[in-house]
């Protein structure tokens, strides 16, 4: 019921759109990890999370900032977006580190 949140009349379409968008994002982040991770001189999980923080900052900050200054999107939801984007990126990078 927040004014800044889009209403989807067809829930299945929303879920499919969300799923596909997330898949594309994860594939792109995976490519970044595989390309840049070998260049980071910090070993193991700490190196992966360091790279994850850098990518999270690049992914999350511009979107957060623009939504905050250009919209009426509620601050509570902005905080959730910021937290979820950062944690999500770190989880992806930690998972990739464990798999590679």
Quote the CA–CA distance of 29 and 11 in Å, as a whole number. 27
pLDDT for residue 17 = 92
Q: Is 83 exposed, middle or buried (0-12, 13-18, 19+ CB in 10 A)?
A: exposed
Query: What pTM, to 2 d.p., does this model score?
Result: 0.79
pLDDT, tens digit, 9 for 90 and up, residues 14-44: 999 999 988 998 999 999 999 999 999 999 9
Q: Tally the residues of the chain.
A: 100
Residue 44: predicted pLDDT: 96
What percent of the chain has a predicted confidence (pLDDT) above 90?
68
Is the pLDDT at 96 greater than 80, yes or no? yes
44: left (phi over 0), alpha (psi -120 to 50) or beta: left
pLDDT value of residue 33: 95
Parse the chain into domains and list their residue ranges. 11-99
pLDDT score of 5 more than 80: no
């Amino acid at each position: 019921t927040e004014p800044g949140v889009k209403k989807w009349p067809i829930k299945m379409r929303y879920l499919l759109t969300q799923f596909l968008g997330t898949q594309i994002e994860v594939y792109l982040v995976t490519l970044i990890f595989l390309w840049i991770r070998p260049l980071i001189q910090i070993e193991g999980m700490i190196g992966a999370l360091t790279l994850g923080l850098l990518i999270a900052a690049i992914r999350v900050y511009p979107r957060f900032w623009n939504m905050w200054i250009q919209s009426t999107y509620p601050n509570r939801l902005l905080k959730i977006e910021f937290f979820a984007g950062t944690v999500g990126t770190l989880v992806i990078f930690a998972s990739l580190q464990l798999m590679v």
